Amino acid sequence: MTVRVGISGWRYRPWRGTFYPKGLVQRRELEYVAERLSTVEINGSFYSLQRPDSFRAWYDQTPPDFVFAVKGGRFITHMKKLAGVETALANFFASGVLALRDKLGPVLWQLPPNLGFDARRLEDFLGRLPRSTSAAARLAEGHDDRLKAPAWTDAGEDRPLRHAMEVRHESFRDPAFLELLRAHGVAVVVADTAGRWPLIEETTADFVYVRLHGDAELYVSGYDDAALDAWAARVRRWHEAGQDVYVYFDNDVKVRAPVDAIALAGRLADLERTEV
């Protein structure tokens, strides 16, 4: 089983000269992170389709045992609201995601707060998600001209592809939602959002995906020693139960995310695949 602790994104102006040393050029920021943490969540892919050259560069800037989670596009989750998304999914996977090859970790689908639980809509979406890189490559061949960069449809060595879903509407507390995720092997994200959105601590797949947005103030507050100890204990329980665990800190506003991630990784150093 694998335990990885990282951050959601790495390009933040306030981090320069605080977390990142003064004078560190932007193109080396990911390399700096990868020397200290074992995973990063790519969140630029949420805002727009990326380019294969970007994914290849990120691959080259990180060590062999590094892993990227990739956030699914908001066009799919927030604009289309999971409906009629076959071509949009093809564009997303054709944008270069598969160029991450052996460093490709889970794909994150974050739903908007105004999207409630609709079993039929969700089941249709989950059924369209590719479960292997080969299946993703076949899906990517259906891209359209919304994809401006050259399409990447090469799966390379076939590997399993995992998915996680973060929800932000109270209606998802329905047990039927969790059963749907279990049926499709999709992990429900354990999201700490300072009480704003549901915190669901259930296991619905063979891995656990955690996003820590701040326990007191969303995206702002850091985690003190007691809070980090508590999250470390949770991670150990999941690991002992046979789950892979991915943890990402998204409390980036006041440069807390990398500090907290390194602190939690230190508490779990005996479980992490890379030395922290």
Ordered by where they begin, the domains of the chain are 3-267 (3.20.20.410)
Q: What pLDDT is attached to residue 28?
A: 97
If you average pLDDT over residues 110-128, what whole number do you get? 98
pTM of the complete model = 0.96
The per-residue pLDDT for 1 is 73
pLDDT at 274: 39
Q: For residue 273, what pLDDT is reported? A: 56
Residues 18/20/23/25 CA torsion (nearest 10 deg): -140
Provide mean pLDDT across the span 238-258.
Answer: 95
Chain centroid to CA 44: how far?
A: 11
pLDDT value of position 252: 87
CA distance 255 to 2: 26
Percentage, residues of the chain above pLDDT 70: 98
Q: Are 24 and 16 in contact (CB under 8 A)?
A: yes
CA–CA distances in Å: residue 44 to residues 73, 86, 125, 135, 199: 9, 21, 22, 23, 24
Once rounded to an integer, what is the mean pLDDT over residues 202-220? Answer: 96
